[in-house]
Structure 1
Amino acid sequence: MTEINPSQITFARVRRRLTKAQLAKELSVTGRSIQNYETGSSTPDAETLAKLAKLLNFPQQFFFIEESMPTIKEHAASFRSLSKITEAMKNCALSAGAIAFKINDWMEGRFTLPKANLPDLSDLSAENAAAALRRIWGLGNAPIPNMIHLLESKGIRVFSLAEEAREVDAFCTWHDSKPFIFLNTMKSAERSRFDAAHELGHLVRDVYSMQHGKLHGPEMERQADAFAAAFLMPEDSVVTNIPPAFTIAYLIKIKRYWGVSLVALAYRYHSLKTMTEWTYRNLCIEMARNGYRTSEPAPMERESSQLLSKVLDFLKSQKIGRAEIAKNLCVSIDEINTLTFKLTRLSVVPMSKIG
């Protein structure tokens, strides 16, 4: 039998957000034993390996794969809300990303997927970069019906973050010259769309930083937020369609047109200086009082992956299910399920129906 690859044990442990001490306790072994397993100084016996595989929810074959899982270098991924992400959360999300790379490789070996051709807009401001990308992609100033479909059509691979990394809003990275975006699908559909646009901003404006390991900081995140707002709500169209009164009721109608959160819409109007500071402050107070900072009013339907849905539907027609993909990749079917999307329908209302 092929020897155990110790790096696979480390990968699986990190994927489950367990420390060496925690894993040792669960397996009823010493911490030194786990250390030895992960350095290759010793290997678990058959009984311990079986317990390890069950606990970490990986098939035993996973630990015998000679080629170690892909790694994402430090600072090669851009994370939102940096202040609340622990190292364990980040590494858990990155390990999920590595499995997504393997899923993507598996699909590319069987299907012709869109190739990425993202422009480098790092020399432009966030606002100008968003406008330029809309021109390059021929989007005009209209709302974007489905962000995930748009990203996938431009060769960006979009996957879902697993529940273990639920504290992570979203992140993006490059692998083998392919851009990837990972979204937290436990957030509202509106916030997930904004996250997708935020990560797109990193991919087109922070190319050098991500490829050369430059540290990501708060200012880079603020710029990505500015890009997302401008990309989802282009200035010319937003300014042209200023409501007669900035009330919560009217803004709820407008937010459905753009497919953004109420908070993001109010902030966009404020940042474009179309409302006074006093009006914006009162709107913020009212939104907070109604719980609209955490619970979205009149929520829209969640977006899904068109690419993954088509691939999985075709495979199903060929009597190939997700279990077969999991078996090929030596991972659990849970990994496939959490990293892929279910098909849903998205409705965006025309501006003519607002009012």
Structure 2
Amino acid sequence: MTYKSLADHCGISSKMASLYEKFPDDYQPTETTVDKISSALAFPKDFFYQDSIEELEFETVAFRSLKTLRAAQKNAATGAGRIGILLNDYFERKFNLPHSNIPDYGGFPPEEVALLIRAEWNLGDKSISNLINLLEAYGVRVFSLSENAQEVDAFSFWKGGIPFVFLNTKKTPERSRFDCAHELGHLLMHRYSENKGNDIEKEADRFASAFLMPESSIRVNVPRFITANEIIKVKSRWRVSAMALTYRLKALDHLTEWQYRNLIIELSKMGYRSNEPIGIEREKSTLLENLLTELSKNRVYIVDIARELRLPVDEISSLLFKFSVVSSSSATIKKTQNTASFSKPQLYIV
């Protein structure tokens, strides 16, 4: 919301709305105005009286598709990031979560980093079945993006030595998976980089492509002369989009320029330019699911978490891959995605 929009909802001037936010010690709204602000923003009134939420500097965040983002979209995304930090702090107080094991490969070529981290994590050249679970096992906190930040593909940052990744779940599962690998590239290669331009975005793309589709696996499983239908058939091996696999084949000189162009044209006609007609199941966070399952055993649900953090239930649910609950007295957690059980009070990912 802009200051003007908020001011119109609350019957105050946009200047006062700005002063309330920027200088809370000097300019404090009346109780009636706070009620109106709470109603306009759909946030609990108590939220505005708690200690300030830790800042997340824009310069520390690696955004996917940075050039296309407006300031309001960046602010919405970093706002989601700050709430994600609050949620992680809450879970850290309740559970022993995996420690970060994300090496610093700054300065290395992206393709070499892909090989190094695969060796570090004993992945060989095999396909990765669930990338979110893999990142969580090595200490990355992965959240979904809220509705008001859906123009953002993905972003990542480090906070207090903990790596965070936020993913847009409105994209195709293949696109979201590639975005996740892209953000891993940023965490591995650009932790201390001051350059936030197009160059590091290209490096993260190169890493994601090489990490998800190892060259040795491509050479063995993809014939030199391949049709669009065969691309669609074999792409499921690496759980990537048809276009991503085609780009990777071209980068490895596995296709001629003529083959590449014709495949792109044919795949586009088949609907694979912006969609994935024959796609994979969407990945989800097993870690977050397990945390909520464990909490539910003690009759703690998302509404209870929201109450403790003084946040809207929908705001929290949207960051937790749309896990939702009817009420704090519910016997089970209702989810919009398939679930798996887990039963350890001290939670670790193995």
Report the TM-score, using the length of structure 2 for normalisation.
Answer: 0.90
Which residue matches 1:65?
A: 50
Superposition deviation, residue 74 in structure 1: 2.9
CA distance in 2, matches of 1:285, 1:266: 11
Contact 2:114/2:211 (<8 A) preserved: yes
Residue 81 (structure 1) aligned to one of 65, 77, 80: 65
Q: Establish whether residue 257 from structure 1 lines up as the match of residue 240 from structure 2.
A: no
Which residue matches 1:194?
A: 178
Residue 118 (structure 1) aligned to one of 102, 105, 108: 102
Deviation larger for 293-302 or 258-267? 293-302
Superposition deviation, residue 345 in structure 1: 7.5
Which residue matches 2:2?
A: 19
Contact 1:160/1:340 (<8 A) preserved: yes
Give % identity. Answer: 43
Contact 1:302/1:345 (<8 A) preserved: no
For these two proteins, the number of residue pairs brought into alignment is 324
Which residue matches 1:52?
A: 37
**Residue identity opposite 1:54 in structure 2:** S
CA distance in 2, matches of 1:262, 1:29: 52
What root-mean-square deviation, in Å, do the aligned CA atoms of Structure 1 and Structure 2 show? 1.4
Which residue matches 1:331?
A: 311
Which residue matches 2:159?
A: 175
Tell me the secondary structure at the aligned position of residue 75 of structure 1: helix
Superposition deviation, residue 299 in structure 1: 0.9
Residue 166 (structure 1) aligned to one of 147, 150, 166: 150
CA distance in 1, matches of 2:5, 2:339: 42
Residue 223 (structure 2) aligned to one of 236, 243, 251: 243
CA distance in 1, matches of 2:156, 2:63: 7
Which residue matches 2:79?
A: 95
Contact 1:303/1:344 (<8 A) preserved: no
CA distance in 2, matches of 1:344, 1:275: 39
**Residue identity opposite 1:164 in structure 2:** N
Which residue matches 1:296?
A: 276
Which residue matches 2:326?
A: none
Which residue matches 1:231?
A: 211
CA distance in 1, matches of 2:15, 2:57: 27
- 1:195-210 paired onto structure 2 within 5 Å: 195-209=179-193
Contact 1:303/1:345 (<8 A) preserved: no
The gaps in structure 1 that reach 5 residues or longer are 1-17, 347-355
Superposition deviation, residue 333 in structure 1: 0.5
Report the TM-score, using the length of structure 1 for normalisation.
Answer: 0.89
Which residue matches 1:30?
A: 13
CA distance in 2, matches of 1:141, 1:286: 29
Q: Establish whether residue 282 from structure 1 lines up as the match of residue 262 from structure 2.
A: yes
Residue 122 (structure 2) aligned to one of 138, 154, 162: 138
Which residue matches 1:221?
A: 201
Q: Establish whether residue 151 from structure 1 lines up as the match of residue 135 from structure 2.
A: yes
Tell me the secondary structure at the aligned position of residue 59 of structure 2: coil
Tell me the secondary structure at the aligned position of residue 139 of structure 1: coil
CA distance in 1, matches of 2:18, 2:279: 48
* 1:318-347 Cα deviation digits (max 9, x unpaired): 11110000011110101110000254479x
Contact 1:252/1:297 (<8 A) preserved: no
CA distance in 2, matches of 1:274, 1:48: 64
Superposition deviation, residue 306 in structure 1: 0.7
CA distance change for structure 1 residues 109 and 58 in 2, over 3 Å: closer, same or farther? Answer: same
Contact 2:224/2:255 (<8 A) preserved: no
Tell me the secondary structure at the aligned position of residue 219 of structure 1: helix
CA distance change for structure 1 residues 276 and 244 in 2, over 3 Å: closer, same or farther? Answer: closer
Tell me the secondary structure at the aligned position of residue 208 of structure 1: coil
Q: Establish whether residue 104 from structure 1 lines up as the match of residue 88 from structure 2.
A: yes
